[in-house]
Amino acid sequence: VFRTSIWDETLYKAWSSIVYQLVPNVNLLQDKLQKVCKVCGADEIVLFEKATFLVISNATSPDVESKKQDVHRFEKISNIIKHYKLTCGKTQARFKSMQVSNTSFTAFIDVFTTTTYIMVVMTNPRIKCGAVKQNIRFARRFFEDIIKSKRR
């Protein structure tokens, strides 16, 4: 018996690709996520599966795509959030959302659909986080319909 876990960063990419293959309408999901990224003026948007925090899909602005990025950033973020969720559980608190801001960027993670979390990263200080969150709320039902449409 071989031990495998989504907690092992070396297996993260393999598990994410399996989840990606199981997601219905993944091309439509990717296309619409890219449009939301553009409308919001975000640098990057990532959809995570709710229970495992594996990446389902992501969208990146053209400006960010041209820059060299950490290829392991999703694994790192996922592990940080999973550990944070465990810590919340120990105090009988439930993880719902998180926002981190500094002089370089603002990022938030929030519940998106019944089966996903969304992470939005922005570096433009003129973009208001509240406006982006409102756009995400407006998009939520549409994405829920995309995800549900193939399950039937």
Domain 9-149 has CATH 3.30.450.190: yes
Per-residue pLDDT of the chain (152 residues; tens, 9 = 90+): 445 555 566 676 777 777 777 777 788 989 999 999 999 999 999 999 888 888 888 999 988 776 777 888 888 888 888 888 888 888 888 888 999 999 999 999 999 999 899 999 999 999 999 999 999 999 999 999 887 775 44
Q: What is the pTM of this model?
A: 0.83
* Close Cβ partners of 13 (under 8 Å, ≥ 6 residues apart): 75
Alpha-carbon torsion, ordered 87, 47, 141, 89, to 10 deg? -10
Q: Chain centroid to CA 88: how far? A: 19
Tell me which DSSP letter residue 51 carries. T
User: Which residues have CB under 8 Å from 138's CB, separation 6+?
Assistant: none
**Count of C-beta atoms within a 10 Å radius of residue 8:** 13
Q: Map out the domains of the chain as residue ranges.
A: 9-149
Please say whether the beta carbons of 48 and 56 come within 8 A: yes
Please tell me the distance from the alpha carbon of residue 13 to that of residue 22, in angstroms, as a whole number.
Answer: 14
